[in-house]
Every structure is written in structure tokens, then in C-alpha cells.
Structure 1
Amino acid sequence: MGKIVNMLWVISLIAFLGAFLVVYAYLPGEVAINSDAGGRGNQFVSKEMFFYGGIGFFMLTNIVLYLFSRLIHMEASRMNSNNRGSGLFHFRNRLAVWIKGLTILINLFFITISLFIGIFNSTDNVGTMDYVLLIYLIPVLIVGWLIYLGVIISGAVKRT
């Protein structure tokens, strides 16, 4: 399962970069990041600030979560071969995979937000209300993923 999650993580990285570059290409010089009650932009940042801030935040989030996942995985790998059948070894491996899965969901959220901001700033008359469901779907998936963490932890507690 770890190899599949790693592959999906790499795909989510590439998908974000692709989506973000396409959105950046079509953004106006001033990017609306907030709207008033009428749906008109009322807070703006420059296109460059949006791009570099978005890439920086994306990279920071992925690096921190990757290092955290890697640290847990290395700790599990350091366990000697006699303990590989223990519940702690399996718990640490599952936790490392869980963190990578969380990173994938966060990347999907970043993709969705960047596409939504691109649609919001589009010169075409594209309604953003058609895409609002996607903004709410990703946090629901993240909550489901947090529930899965509880399942992992309760399984580890039962084994000890």
C-alpha cells in the first residue's frame, strides 16, 4: 500500500504544478482572493505574489509532511528484525502511509482552491457556484481520513 500511496503523492504533486501553472497563465495582473456579498473581488494580490506565495506554501506543506512521514518510517525501519512482527512496527508503517495519504488530500485541496481562484478571476462568465461543492468535499474527505487515523490508533492499542 505504501508504494501506491507514494505514486499517488507524486501524481498529486505533478497535478498541482500543472493546474497551478495553467491557472497562473490565465490570471489577470491583480488576483482577487476574497469577495464581497455581491460576488465582486474586494481583496487583491499581485499575480506574482499569488504565484510565489502559493508555490511556497505548497512546497512548505509538502516538505514538512514528507519529512514527518519519513522520520516515522525511518524509526520503524530502525527496529531490529526481531521486532518486525510487533504491533509497534506495523503501527509506525501504517502511520507513515497515513501521513502521505493526508498529504495527497491536502494537495487535492490546493488544486481545488487554485482552480477555484482561477475561475473566480476568469474574464468569462463562469459561475463559481457550480464549483463550490468541490471546496467543501475535500475537507469532508480530510475528516474521513482523520477518522481512519482513529481506526489505526485503536488497532494499535488493541495489539498491545
Structure 2
Amino acid sequence: MDKLVGFIRTASYLTFLAALIWAYASLAGQVSYRFDGDGSALQLVDRNTFFFSSVIIFLVANVICVSFIKVLKKIKTSDEGVGIRNKGLKTDIITWVRGFAGILNIMFTTIVFFIGYMNMNELKLDVLSIYLYIGPILLVFWFFYLVKILSVRRN
């Protein structure tokens, strides 16, 4: 499970970077990021501001997750430990945080892709709406996995 989560997290870095570069290259000078029910733009921002804001949000979220993982790794554990001092629980929580970072990256990727797609006038916009639900659905499943991890009896 740890290798799969690590692969997904690494792939999500590359996917976000590709989506951001694609969106930046295809955007006009002004980017619409808030839309009404008909798909008309409500608020605009400069494309450079959009690019750098996206990068900063992505980096802050990932730095927080990596910092939390580093703090968890410093905790001394044993097989008989209780709570987070249990080696198995600590390993599972570290894997969960890595997966959480990957899911956040997937959500950021879909948002950037959606904003880039919505700013293209010649494309059909109804196709993409289903993909906006991927991130929240993955997030809900991942929190259920956290509940499963925490409910497993250790020792």
C-alpha cells in the first residue's frame, strides 16, 4: 500500500505541473475563476496571478503534509506502544498522510484543469462537470480509511 500511495503522490506532482503549464499556456490575459449557472464569468484575475497563486497553494499544502510526516517519523515507537507510539499505527498514519497529500494534489489538478477548460470558449463545457466530483469523493473515501486505521485494535 505504501508503494502505491507513494507512486500516486509522485504522479500527482507531475500531473499538477502538466495541468498548470497547459492551463497557463492556453489562457488569455485575464482568467475567469468564478462562474454563474450559465458558465458566464463573474470574477477575473490576471493569468500570472492565477499561475503563481496556484503554485503557492500547491506548495503550502504539500509542505504542510511533508512537515507532518517528518514530525511523525521522529516519534519513537515500539510494537507494544500505545496510540501513536505504536509502530504499526505510526506507519499507517504516515501512509495515510502521504495519500492525503496525493488526493489534495489530484483536487488541485482538477481545479486548475477546470479553470483552464472553462476559459476556452470553443469547447463543450458539460463534459468536464463529472470530474469535479472525483476529488471530494476520493477525500471522503480517504477519511473512511483513516477511521478504519484508527479503529484497528493494536497489540
Distance of 2:49 and 2:104 partners within structure 1:
21
The alpha-carbon deviation at position 130 of structure 1 amounts to 1.2
Name the SS of the counterpart of 2:33 in structure 1: strand
Q: Paired residue for 1:142, among 139, 144, 151?
A: 139
Corresponding residue of 1:47:
47
Q: Which runs of 4+ in 1 moved over 3 A?
A: 84-87
The alpha-carbon deviation at position 2 of structure 1 amounts to 2.3
Is 2:155 the counterpart of 1:153?
no
The alpha-carbon deviation at position 131 of structure 1 amounts to 1.0
Corresponding residue of 2:16:
16
Partner amino acid, structure 2, of 1:11 = A
Cα deviation, 1:12-40, whole Å, max 9, x if unaligned, reads 11111111111100001000001123321
Cα deviation, 1:18-63, whole Å, max 9, x if unaligned, reads 1111110000100000112332111000001000000000000011
Cα deviation, 1:48-99, whole Å, max 9, x if unaligned, reads 1000000000000011011112211232xx33xxx24657110011001001
Distance of 1:10 and 1:39 partners within structure 2:
33
Q: In 2, are the aligned partners of 1:116 and 1:128 still within 8 Å (CA)?
A: no
Distance of 1:135 and 1:37 partners within structure 2:
15
Distance of 1:36 and 1:15 partners within structure 2:
28
Partner amino acid, structure 2, of 1:16 = F
Corresponding residue of 2:92:
94
* Consecutive unaligned residues in structure 1, runs of 5 or more: none
The alignment's TM-score, normalised by the length of structure 2, stands at: 0.90
Corresponding residue of 2:125:
128
Q: Number of paired residues?
A: 152
The alignment's TM-score, normalised by the length of structure 1, stands at: 0.88
RMSD of equivalent CA atoms: 1.6
* Consecutive unaligned residues in structure 2, runs of 5 or more: none
